[in-house]
Amino acid sequence: MTLTFDRREYGKLLAQYQPRLIKTETENEEALAIVEELMHRKIRSPEENALYDLLVVLIEKFEENFYHPGEASNPHSMLSFLMEQQAIALPDLADVLGSEDIVQEILDKRKAIDAEQAKKLAVFFQVDASVFL
């Protein structure tokens, strides 16, 4: 059964959390707290998943500019970011990608994330596969 996306419910979430471009560390910490709250829910609605995805992008954008000015976001940095935010270790992704060696090669930027791996990572992290491509 596929859950449908309810625009009104999403609008309520947007009104409640009021996500916006993050410009300060304080705003970043607030967004991280919301992401952590959503991340620990056993079941998220499609609307909560959309808010989660939006906040992850906003946090990544802020941290990219604030902590690494001039470095562009890439699939490897998104994987590292999501692993850090969700306290995911190499062994946790070994089953998803095949082995710890493959995970390490990807994190070390020695191996690109292919389309199939992006799909698996997307399911695991509950984000859109395009984040890893």
Question: Are residues 68 and 27 located together in one domain of the fold?
Answer: yes
115 pLDDT tier (thresholds 50, 70, 90): very high
Domain membership of residue 2 (yes or no) is no
pLDDT reported for residue 133: 85
- Do residues 78 and 60 touch, judged by C-beta distance below 8 A? yes
Could you tell me if residue 55 is inside a domain? yes
Task: Give domain status of residue 1, yes or no.
Answer: no
Instruction: Select from 54, 72, 90 the last residue of a domain.
Output: 72
Q: Which domain holds residue 26?
A: 7-72
**Chain centre to alpha carbon of residue 114:** 18
pLDDT, tens digit, 9 for 90 and up, residues 56-95:
999 988 887 777 655 567 888 889 888 888 889 989 999 9
Nearest to 13, CA basis, from 124, 37, 63, 84: 37
pTM of the predicted model as reported, rounded to 2 decimal places: 0.55
Residues 57 and 83 placed together within one structural domain of the fold: no
Residues 68, 78: one domain? Answer: no
